[in-house]
Each structure stands twice: as structure tokens, then as C-alpha cells.
Amino acid sequence: MVLETGNGDWTYQVLGMLEIPPRCRVEHVSLEHPLSQDWGVFQRMFKAECHFINGTERVRYMERHIYNREQQLQFDSDLGVYVGDTPFGEIQTRYLNSLPGSLEYARSAVDTYCRPYYELDTPFSME
């Protein structure tokens, strides 16, 4: 599920969620029969936000990666790199920060993602 919303306070969000079925099945040549286990529901969530200060004079892009209601890592355009919030998030940020394309894409989101939304929404929100 992907949801894009304007918050009415000059911030925008994209929310992407993936729910993984609660049953895990493991098959291996060493097992006589496959194993099945109920785990509950796992949820992976991605959230992108644009914050506008004084029009488009200062724009801040934030990207958050959340797993089971716990924020694992984030990208803040003011910092320009991914930052881990948990031990697993630290591992992921080392990987993401090592990919030049990943960082370039996230850093360019202010101009490619945020500013166009501001220009589209301004006529409606100023009335």
C-alpha cells in the first residue's frame, strides 16, 4: 500500500507499507518435512516527508524506514547521509551510504520530489 498526502501545514508524506503473512515455511534437504511457524504480523514501512520553511526558500526532505513500529534508519537532507537509529539500522546505513547512487537519489529529492509538490499545492492552499 502506498499513500501520498498533504498535511495542510506545508509538509507532505508518502507512506508505503508492506505486511508479511504471519506464517513462515522452511524447506530444506535436511528436513524430512517442511517446517511451518506462526510469527504474527511483520510490518515494514517507508515514510518520506517534505518540510517547507518560508515557501521554497528552505526545503527539508526526510525519509524514515520503520520495521514493526520501530524506526530503523532515516535520511535527512540537512545531513545528506543515512543515519541508523538501531543496531540493525546502523548496518543498513553503512550499506546505503556506500552506494553513490542511493545517496545521490536521496539528496536530489528536495528538487525532484518536494519542490514540485509545493508548486502544485500552493494555489489550493493559499485560497
pLDDT in tens, 40-63: 666 788 888 888 887 777 888 999
Whether the Cβ atoms of residue 42 and residue 19 lie closer than 8 Å to each other:
yes
Average pLDDT, stretch 56-78? Answer: 88
Q: How far apart are CA 59 and CA 21, in angstroms?
A: 38
Q: How far apart are CA 89 and CA 91, in angstroms?
A: 5
Instruction: Please name each of the domains of the chain with its CATH number.
Output: 2-125 (3.10.320.10)
| 0.85 exceeded by pTM | no
pLDDT band at 123 (very low <50, low <70, confident <90, very high): low
Structure-block grid coordinates of residue 91: 548496518
Instruction: For 101-112, write each residue's pLDDT tens digit.
Output: 889 999 998 888
Helix 100-109 and helix 87-98, axial crossing angle in degrees, nearest 10: 100
Q: How far apart are CA 1 and CA 71, in angstroms?
A: 18
pLDDT at residue 31 is higher than 90? no
pLDDT band at 33 (very low <50, low <70, confident <90, very high): confident
